[in-house]
């Protein structure tokens, strides 16, 4: 297909498609004349992947480039591919936590958690470090005791990870594995965050509501400001 | 305290502190002379909140400004405050999903889920819309069947939301409520995402590993590229 049809089918504008080609996210089309290229179904699929990671996952173009590189790298063992995709998907934290003492304490708490749960990961894993940074940040704003709910979070994470793996094992072909893990990880975060908001609003209504009112997106909350 | 001490205690540079004051994130210090201002403990606390939201939560300065506005708005009922903070924390999606048919189908699925679970939220709630967008995006990249694991995700989200509410009910004073919900929502997402990665790596090792090898952050995965 021509670039115009690729644009129509994916909802991505022609200049943006050209930008993704220049940035190395999308393979160039096959030239049929010096000024004309033709695109395949693989381009449609890849463009949808790029847009999902950017629009819904909130990834930067640079982060998408890394995911794409993992997707395009063939021939590694399944567990290795999965693990690597998961590690690449760890959010990068820009800042430094204010107090180093708090961070080393949080790292110990994470090591302890991994041991308690017999999770087969190294404590130096980037996800373990991300967890320690989040815990230390909670401590720095006065929520040291948030660590008390860590067990409930870890139970829920195990449940979600089992569902993720079951989905991958049943529905995903070997050659689509890394793409699926990348997509599932990024979009799964967005999915879970939205579900957590809904469940929070429900739980808050049950605990604090009591007026028979339902808080929601009916615009009333916004008008009240 | 002077601005230099505020900077030292929070690890935020003096120019950045001045930027936050100009941007309306941080109240100005009290002027003690035309060129000298003094800052209080509330400034330390507020700066830590700003940094946690930006560095760990990944929020933009504009998004932090909205959270701060909610935190500083007194006198609303508890459930209303909680609901609003939760709604403000829904990630904003930039793009349009490629196919509208897919999105309306996803919206129906979300309405159905909310009804099944008897969640006290309006279907038009921003979190419900965010969920529909994430589901539609998964569909657009060939993962229509990911909806099959939605139940497991929703169970986990309920579990996390119950833990969140229990924490709020036990450990948070009324005047700190919105701040706590804002922080807990943003940092809780980061916490859960990191735990999900760890649990995924563990689950992947158990399902696909089998070589007695442990995938982790020991650098070997990186060297292999």
Q: Measured between CA atoms, how close is A32 to chain B, in angstroms?
A: 27
* Residues B149, B161 share a domain: yes
Determine the Cα–Cα distance for residues B53 and B20; give it in Å rounded to an integer: 13
Q: Which one is predicted more confidently, A126 or A218? A: A126
Residue of A157, A197, A207 with shortest CB distance to B195: A157
pLDDT of residue A17: 95
Q: What are phi and psi of B146, to 5 degrees?
A: -60, -25
Q: Nearest 5°: phi and psi at B31? A: -70, 125
Contacts of B197 in chain A (CB under 8 A): 86-87, 89-90, 125, 127, 130, 185
Domain count, chain B: 2
Clarify whether residues A30 and A114 are in a common domain.
no
Question: Is B28 a member of any domain?
Answer: yes
Q: Mean pLDDT score of chain A, rounded to an integer? A: 78
In the DSSP assignment, the letter for residue B175 is G
Q: Is the same domain home to B52 and B121?
A: no
In a domain, A223, yes or no: no
DSSP state of A53: I
Q: What is the 3-state secondary structure (H, E, C) of B158-186?
A: HHHHHHHHHHHHHHCCHHHHHHHHHHHHH
Same domain assignment for residues A64 and A161: yes
A14 and A84 in a single domain? The answer is no
Asked, for residue B110, whether it belongs to a domain, the answer is: yes
Tell me, what DSSP letter sits at residue A98?
S
- Quote the tokens at residue A72: 């395009």
Q: Which helix (H) or strand (E) holds B111?
A: helix B100-116
Q: Is B221 part of a structural domain of the chain?
A: no
pLDDT score at A37: 94
Residue B77 structural domain: 57-209
pLDDT number for residue B74 = 62
* Encoded tokens for B96: 């349009």
Looking at per-residue pLDDT, the higher value among B116 and A86 belongs to B116
Based on the fold, state whether residues B49 and B71 are members of the same structural domain: no
Other C-beta atoms closer than 10 Å to the C-beta of B159 total: 18
Supply the pLDDT for residue B207. Answer: 75
Six-digit token string for A102 = 């708090």
Integer Cα distance of A157 and A189 in angstroms: 11
Question: How much is the average pLDDT of A53-76?
Answer: 74
Residues B51 and B129 in one domain: no
Relative to beta strand B36-38, strand A30-33 is unpaired
* Predicted local distance difference test score (pLDDT) of residue A92: 47
Please tell me whether residues A175 and A196 are part of one structural domain.
yes
Looking at chain A, the whole-number percentage of residues with pLDDT higher than 70 is: 78
Q: CA-to-CA distance for B140 and B129, rounded, in angstroms?
A: 16
Q: Is residue A136 part of a domain?
A: yes
Provide the strand spans (E) within chain B. 30-33, 36-38
- Scanning every residue of chain A, which has its alpha carbon at the shortest distance from the alpha carbon of B200? A161
pLDDT digits (tens, 9 = 90+) for A117-171: 999 887 677 788 888 888 888 888 888 888 888 999 999 999 999 998 888 888 7
* A45 and A145, same domain (yes or no): no
Alpha-carbon gap, residue A141 to B70, rounded angstroms: 17
Query: And the tokens for A130?
Result: 């991300």
Going by pLDDT thresholds of 50, 70 and 90, the confidence category of residue A221 is: very low
Q: What is the pLDDT of residue A123?
A: 63
The Cα A57–Cα A65 span in angstroms is 14
List the CATH number of the domain containing B20: 1.10.1660.10
pLDDT surpassing 50 at residue A217: no
ipTM over 0.85: no
Give yes or no: residues B39 and B120 share one domain: no
Same domain, B104 and B51: no
Is A1 within a domain? Answer: yes
**Given this model, what pLDDT does residue B211 score?**
44
Q: What is the dihedral of CA A118, A119, A123, A126, to 10 degrees?
A: -170
Note the pLDDT of residue B79: 58
| A145, part of any domain | yes
Residues A79, A146, single domain; the answer is yes
What does R_g of chain A's alpha carbons equal in angstroms?
A: 22
pLDDT at position A81 over 70: no
To which residue do tokens 């021509």 refer? A2
Taking the C-alpha atoms of A180, A183, A188 and A191 in order, what is their torsion angle to the nearest 10 degrees?
-130
Residues from chain B that touch A119, judged by Cβ atoms under 8 A, are 198-199, 201-202
Share of chain A above pLDDT 90, in %: 28
Most A CBs within 10 Å, among B169, B189, B203, B219, to test the A interface: B203
DSSP B32: E
At A124 the three-state DSSP class reads coil
Contact A106, A139 (CB under 8 A): yes
A154, part of any domain: yes
Q: Which residues of chain B fall below pLDDT 50?
A: 92-95, 97-98, 211-225
User: Which residues of chain A lie closer than 8 angstroms to B220, CB-CB?
Assistant: none
């Amino acid at each position: 297909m021509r670039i115009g049809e690729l644009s129509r089918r994916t909802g991505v504008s022609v200049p943006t498609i050209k930008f993704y080609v220049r940035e190395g996210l999308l393979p160039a089309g096959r030239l049929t004349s010096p000024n004309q290229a033709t695109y395949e179904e693989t381009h449609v699929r890849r463009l949808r992947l790029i847009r999902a990671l950017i629009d819904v996952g909130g990834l930067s173009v640079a982060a998408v480039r890394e995911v794409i590189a993992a997707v395009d790298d063939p021939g590694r063992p399944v567990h290795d591919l999965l693990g690597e995709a998961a590690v690449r998907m760890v959010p990068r934290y820009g800042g430094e936590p204010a107090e180093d003492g708090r961070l080393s304490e949080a790292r110990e708490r994470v090591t302890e958690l991994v041991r308690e749960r017999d999770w087969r990961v190294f404590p130096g894993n980037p996800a373990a470090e991300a967890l320690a940074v989040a815990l230390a940040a909670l401590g720095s704003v006065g929520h040291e005791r948030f660590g008390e709910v860590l067990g409930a979070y870890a139970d829920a994470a195990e449940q979600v990870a089992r569902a993720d793996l079951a989905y991958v094992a049943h529905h995903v072909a070997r050659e689509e594995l890394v793409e699926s893990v990348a997509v599932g990880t990024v979009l799964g975060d967005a999915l879970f965050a939205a579900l957590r908001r809904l469940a929070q609003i429900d739980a808050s209504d049950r605990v604090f509501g009591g007026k028979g009112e339902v808080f929601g997106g009916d615009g009333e909350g916004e008008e009240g400001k």
